[in-house]
Amino acid sequence: METRAAVLAVIVRDSASVSALNSLLHQYEDCIIGRMGIPCRQRGIRIISVALDASADQISALSGKIGRLPGVTAKTVYAPEDKT
């Protein structure tokens, strides 16, 4: 299976969704290279970046599931494909 490197940017506005978000990330732990979370207290949000190495289908599925959580936004940026 061909994999891609990507970064999933997540913004959490509803703290009630944090448990479900962590559960989803746990389900995809084999695809996750690393993650960093930063609370932005003055805006009342949490900003999370998740570095991934997975198939495009896995990345898309995770991003879609996270983006459907209430009060959560997710966007993905893919690294350019190797053209060798």
Model pLDDT, residue 81: 81
Categorize the per-residue pLDDT at 84 as very low, low, confident or very high, splitting at 50, 70 and 90.
Answer: low
pTM for the predicted model, two decimal places: 0.90
In which residue are the tokens 């990507």 written? 6
Q: What is the pLDDT of residues 49-61, one digit of tens each?
A: 999 999 999 999 9
25: closest CA among 5, 38, 79, 33? 33
Model pLDDT, residue 11: 98
Instruction: Tell me what the pLDDT averaged over the chain comes to.
Output: 95
Q: Which fold has domain 4-78?
A: Alpha-Beta Plaits (3.30.70)
Domain ranges of the chain: 4-78
CB 23 within 8 A of CB 74: no
How large is the average pLDDT for residues 28-32? 97
E strand map for 1-84: 4-12, 32-40, 45-54, 72-78
8-state DSSP, 69: S
